[in-house]
Amino acid sequence: MSGTFKVLALGGDHIGPEVVAAGLQVLRQVADQFGVAVEIEEDLLGGASWDVHGTFCTDAVAAKARAADAILVGAVGGPEWDNIRIAGPITETDGLTRLRIELDVYNALRPARAWPALLHRTPYRQEVVEGADLLVVRENAGGIYYGEPRGREVLGDGQERAFEISEYRTGEVERIARCAFEAARGRGGHVTSLDKSNVMESGKLWRETVARIGREEYPDIQLRHLLMDYALFAVARAPQEFDVLLADNLFGDLISDLVAVVSGALGMLPSATLPAAARVGHPVKGGLYEPTHGSAPDISGQGVANPIGTILSVAMMFEYGFGLPAAARAIEQAVDRVLAAGLAPPDLGGTDGTATITQAILRNLHPIP
Ligand code: NAI
Ligand code: MG
């Protein structure tokens, strides 16, 4: 591996800096073990930035993020800053949203797997969930959350009308479809694309476009289409039968939370949001890596936050940001060993704190031959 990867670490608020510190320890050790040069810079985001600079994301942080190879984020927000958040437009009041726009990320990857040691913490019977290993690929920059026009108006009869539009262009669907097919190639799996093509025009375009990209560019990848409502039932009933789940912004939001159930706890879940398709062996610059949980003000400062979601986000950074899937697998195996040995933070029903879990993962990290 040549060159140095530049990583910007933004702890954010409450438990954010605690879990990011844990993630950075793993990042440094794995980089050493795999002979990767990384240069890490830390800065402020969210309320922590507001308290010092009077803004949730400074221009300097935005510039550093644009220059970085990868950005690790903890979580932002807390009751201290809620009123400020409400006062202005979202891009100015939410540091994370500004970062997403600055980085032009559109491809949100949300993996969830059934950890052998945590099967009893899921609501599933063991034989139904064992081995489940899912990756949601969510279009994260378009669709109904961004379609124009949107708004509210008062009608002649005095009622209010509120509206937004679900809109997709061919190019937007093509690029997210490629992300899903590429991800499936890396996992040796198959893609299930979710839509409501029976009732939505944007859903029809979605299905036609995904089918065409699959046929023309990825004939080696199995593709099936499911209607979103049935998909919720099918995935909940038999999570082992699915691999990559491709969905638009709204449906991806919903299915991400559904698949998270197989992992057993919120603190276990990582994410990556990328500005391009991650092709096997071709790193993507400028991805955002973060646990899916929030800043957990209720447990901050106690040293009990589960760092695993952040550590697994670092694994995703090695896989997609640095093009080193072997390093990602090494981190996942270390997590697996630590859980199998019976260690557990409080959100998994145990008593082991952030430092204990992190140290155990560091001790169990071995390069995969
Ligand atoms: P949350 O995810 O912070 O917490 C929900 C519950 O899960 C809490 O009981 C918390 O203690 C627990 N929890 C979360 N992560 C944990 C971890 N790693 N280890 C152990 N327990 C953990 O969600 P909540 O309470 O709705 O939001 C708190 C703040 O976080 C709010 O200000 C919210 O806006 C912000 N938030 C930020 C996000 C981000 O930066 N991406 C995402 C979600 C919420
Ligand atoms: Mg959500």
Question: In terms of domains, do 215 and 286 share one?
Answer: no
Q: Which one, of 357, 266, 291, 277, lies nearest residue 320 by Cα?
A: 277
Which residue, judged by its Cα, is nearest atom 25 of ligand 1?
Answer: 296
Residue 132 maps to which CATH number? 3.40.718.10
> How far is residue 209's CA from residue 170's CA, in Å, rounded to a whole number?
7
Residues carrying an active site annotation = 145, 196, 229, 253, 257
Question: In terms of domains, do 136 and 83 share one?
Answer: no
Q: Is residue 197 domain-resident? A: yes
pTM: 0.94
Would you place residue 182 in the very low, low, confident or very high pLDDT band (cuts 50, 70, 90)? Answer: very high
Q: Is residue 116 domain-resident? A: no
Tell me the percentage of the chain whose pLDDT exceeds 90: 88
Question: In terms of domains, do 258 and 272 share one?
Answer: no
**CB-count exposure of residue 54 (10 Å: 0-12, 13-18, 19+):** exposed
- Please tell me the distance between residue 295's alpha carbon and the centre of ligand 1 in angstroms: 4
What pLDDT, on the 0 to 100 scale, is given for residue 92?
Answer: 63
Inform me whether the pLDDT recorded for 223 exceeds 80. Answer: yes
Ligand nearest to the CA of 309: 1
Ligand 1 lined by 46 (C-beta under 6 Å)? no
Question: In terms of domains, do 137 and 243 share one?
Answer: yes
Question: In terms of domains, do 148 and 245 share one?
Answer: yes
Inform me whether the pLDDT recorded for 73 exceeds 80. Answer: yes
Mutate to test the pocket of ligand 1, among 44, 295, 310 (most ligand atoms within 8 A of CB): 295
ipTM above 0.90, yes or no: yes
Poorest-pLDDT segment among 30-39, 81-90, 196-205: 81-90
Average pLDDT, whole number, for the chain?
Answer: 94
Ligand 1 lined by 84 (C-beta under 6 Å)? no
Question: In terms of domains, do 128 and 259 share one?
Answer: yes
Q: How confident is the model over 254-272, as pLDDT tens digits?
A: 999 999 999 988 899 999 9
Helix (H, G, I), strand (E, B) or coil at 141: coil
Poorest-pLDDT segment among 20-29, 64-73, 173-182, 278-287: 278-287
Inform me whether the pLDDT recorded for 84 exceeds 90. Answer: no
Ligand 1 lined by 20 (C-beta under 6 Å)? no
Q: Which residue among 263, 284, 316 closes a domain?
A: 263
Q: Is residue 339 domain-resident? A: yes
Q: Is residue 187 domain-resident? A: yes
Question: In terms of domains, do 259 and 270 share one?
Answer: no
What pLDDT, on the 0 to 100 scale, is given for residue 86?
Answer: 67
Ligand nearest to the CA of 256: 2
Ligand nearest to the CA of 349: 1
Q: Pick the atom of ligand 1 nearest to 12's CA.
A: 40
Q: How confident is the model over 115-174, as pLDDT tens digits?
A: 999 999 899 999 999 999 999 999 999 999 989 999 999 999 999 999 999 999 999 999
Return the H-helix or E-strand segment holding 4. strand 4-12
Q: Which residue among 243, 263, 283 closes a domain?
A: 263
Q: Which domain holds residue 365?
A: 1-110+266-369
Q: Which one, of 100, 18, 93, 42, lies nearest residue 356 by Cα?
A: 18
Question: In terms of domains, do 153 and 216 share one?
Answer: yes
Question: In terms of domains, do 142 and 233 share one?
Answer: yes
> How far is residue 180's CA from residue 210's CA, in Å, rounded to a whole number?
10
What pLDDT, on the 0 to 100 scale, is given for residue 89?
Answer: 66
Position with higher pLDDT, 77 vs 3: 77
Q: Is residue 115 domain-resident? A: no
Question: In terms of domains, do 258 and 132 share one?
Answer: yes
Ligand 1 lined by 296 (C-beta under 6 Å)? yes
Question: In terms of domains, do 280 and 252 share one?
Answer: no
Poorest-pLDDT segment among 79-93, 288-302, 352-366: 79-93
Q: Is residue 43 domain-resident? A: yes
CA atoms within 13 A on the CB side of 154: 1
- Please tell me the distance between residue 307's alpha carbon and the centre of ligand 2 in angstroms: 20
Q: Is residue 239 domain-resident? A: yes
Inform me whether the pLDDT recorded for 356 exceeds 80. Answer: yes
Q: Which residue among 263, 279, 297 closes a domain?
A: 263
- Please tell me the distance between residue 256's alpha carbon and the centre of ligand 2 in angstroms: 7
DSSP 240: G
Would you place residue 83 in the very low, low, confident or very high pLDDT band (cuts 50, 70, 90)? Answer: confident
Which residues are CB-contacts of 146 (< 8 A; sequence separation ≥ 6)? 249
Ligand 1 lined by 305 (C-beta under 6 Å)? yes
Q: What are the tokens at 358? A: 């992190």
Q: Is residue 118 domain-resident? A: no
Q: Number of structural domains, the chain?
A: 2
Inform me whether the pLDDT recorded for 1 exceeds 60. Answer: no
Q: Pick the atom of ligand 1 nearest to 291's CA.
A: 41
**What residues sit around ligand 2, an ion, with C-beta below 5 angstroms?**
253
Q: What mean pLDDT is predicted for residues 301-323?
A: 97
What pLDDT, on the 0 to 100 scale, is given for residue 18?
Answer: 98
Question: In terms of domains, do 192 and 214 share one?
Answer: yes
Q: How confident is the model over 12-57, as pLDDT tens digits?
A: 999 999 999 999 999 999 999 999 999 999 999 999 999 999 999 9
What pLDDT, on the 0 to 100 scale, is given for residue 2?
Answer: 54
